Amino acid sequence: MARDTYTYTNKIKELITKESSQFQLTTTELYYKIIQNNEGELTQSGAINARTGKYTGRSPKDKFIVAEPSYKDDIDWGDVNQPIEETTFLNLLDKVLDYLHEKEELYVFKGYAGSDEDSQLKLTVVNEFAWHNLFAQNMFIRPSSKKEAESIKSGFTIVSAPSFKADPAVDGTNSETFVIISFKHKIVLIGGTEYAGEMKKGIFSVMNYLLPKSDIMSMHCSVNVGQKGDVALFFGLSGTGKTTLSADPSRNLIGDDEHGWNDNGIFNIEGGCYAKAINLSYKKEPQIYNAIKYGTVLENVVVDNDGTIDFDDNYYTENTRAAYPIHYIDNIVSPSKAAHPNTIIFLTADAFGVLPPISKLSGEQAMYHFLSGFTAKLAGTERGVTEPEPSFSTCFGAPFLPLNAKVYANLLGELIDKHDVDVYLVNTGWTGGKYGTGRRINLTYTRQMVNQAITGKLKDAEFIQDETFGLSIPKEVADVPTTILNPINAWSDQDAYKAQANDLIQRFNDNFENFGEDVADIAEKGGFKK
């Protein structure tokens, strides 16, 4: 007999309503539970620090989507979106729910994903760990009261059981860890990993399915807004400066990571920030540093015996994190919404040193670079990486996209045209040579170029077309040396520049072939010109 969604809805309801289940606890109540359960340690800043064991980041090879008939044809199956049969998923879900039922206490939170009510997803989060529940409260949007939380009828439920280990031979997983999304049963099932970020990214993947189905763009980007209401979007992979450049004291933050774009404008999907904490300092990132206080959840940082945090120590991982409510940042917009954007910035850290520090993109070029999602890995950052390596992440968020990449690219292209948005490609990487021989583009210059772009001051600037890439480069940017604007001029050996540039162009071309013939026109009109 087929098992329907109601069976599991009722089983989850039983868990939530158990007398021992702790519903919508306050931050202080969760602090007591965390300390009592020995789940984390109190730091001198007031933040809680938890260690996540052997999993200090996402487990992409352990992420699955249930191949249910009603949704099967929508999903872009492959290495990112691995299928798992519905029966296999339900058998594992049964085990996890039974396991949680035997726990002395569970922690339940109800809230929202999406700050725009027209596009909001109502959430229930069921946690084995109290600190995970505090993480969820920090990252998702909190209801205004416990009474409001009680009235929420959940559209999706996260069931998180970190201590439950799967048996791959029996449970159909690849390891003891699993992150499984079922669109039919409206569940994100997580087990075998204590890394709390799986909850955040699980719901982001869900929103990346649901929103485009309603012709709403979902985006892995940060957003800020100026005093005149000018809205800027920042797309970029890790290490490109997305967080640094969007955290501008002269502008107000909408959000740092996940957003939607509907008929009303831009809205934050989250209610908090999940910032990298390695080498965090007041001098470099004062807003994030000041957010490390009571209520913040730290992951895997090193804490001295007296409670002092050593942000520079990577003993547990380079991927140390801080999860805090967005209102811990001073200059935010509340609720986290804004009008349609004026400017989009694609950030890339080009370690080959050949892309211009800033260039203006046509509509076709914008779609090409959005689909490419390029940056470069640096030598020494990963084992075996001795030279800069190109890294392409489709739509700047490939690990979280259930649908075909072209769905997101087409949506973005339509919105850019409809709202007459200016799009710029900004290289925050190297100039005058590749990593090791050239130099990093001065952050002060990058900030100035970005500022000129997002305030509209570059709109009427004079541009020249770069002969190598076919990109439009401004002839002048206030307070930026003209010698760096056209990268060939920054290289002492122009033949070496051209050879390196042609090598990168070929890598772009090779990557774009993965998208097939139906985007050949984008490559033709928006790709690099050799």
Please list the active-site residues.
58, 201, 220, 238, 242-243, 257, 321
- What is the C-alpha radius of gyration for the chain, rounded to an integer number of angstroms? 23
Cβ(372)–Cβ(382) below 8 Å: no
Q: Where are the alpha helices (DSSP H) in 283-362?
A: 286-290
Count of CB atoms situated within 10 Å of the CB of 415: 18
Q: Which amino acid is at 177?
A: T
Burial class (CB in 10 A: 0-12, 13-18, 19+), 307: middle
Cβ(195)–Cβ(235) below 8 Å: no
Residues 6+ apart with CB under 8 A from 211: 119, 217, 218, 260, 262
Distance CA 377, CA 465 (A): 27
CA angle 323, 329, 335 (to 5 degrees): 95
Q: Where are the alpha helices (DSSP H) in 83-227?
A: 86-101, 130-139, 146-151, 168-171, 197-213
Both tokens assigned to 236: 């970029």
Burial class (CB in 10 A: 0-12, 13-18, 19+), 483: exposed
Q: Where are the alpha helices (DSSP H) in 376-459?
A: 405-419, 443-454
DSSP label of 166: P
Cβ(425)–Cβ(438) below 8 Å: no
Burial of 214-236, coded b for 16+ CB within 10 Å and e otherwise, reads: eebbbbbbbbbbbeeebbbbbbb
The answer to whether the peptide bond before residue 335 is cis (omega within 30 degrees of 0) is yes
Distance CA 382, CA 301 (A): 20
CA 148 to chain centre: 28
Q: Where are the alpha helices (DSSP H) in 237-386?
A: 242-246, 286-290, 363-372
Distance CA 66, CA 178 (A): 12
Q: Which amino acid is at 342?
A: N
Cβ(432)–Cβ(492) below 8 Å: yes
Nearest to 237 by CA among 290, 276, 281: 276
Distance CA 265, CA 232 (A): 12
Nearest to 376 by CA among 358, 352, 354: 352
- Number of alpha helices (DSSP H) and beta strands (DSSP E) in the chain: 16, 30
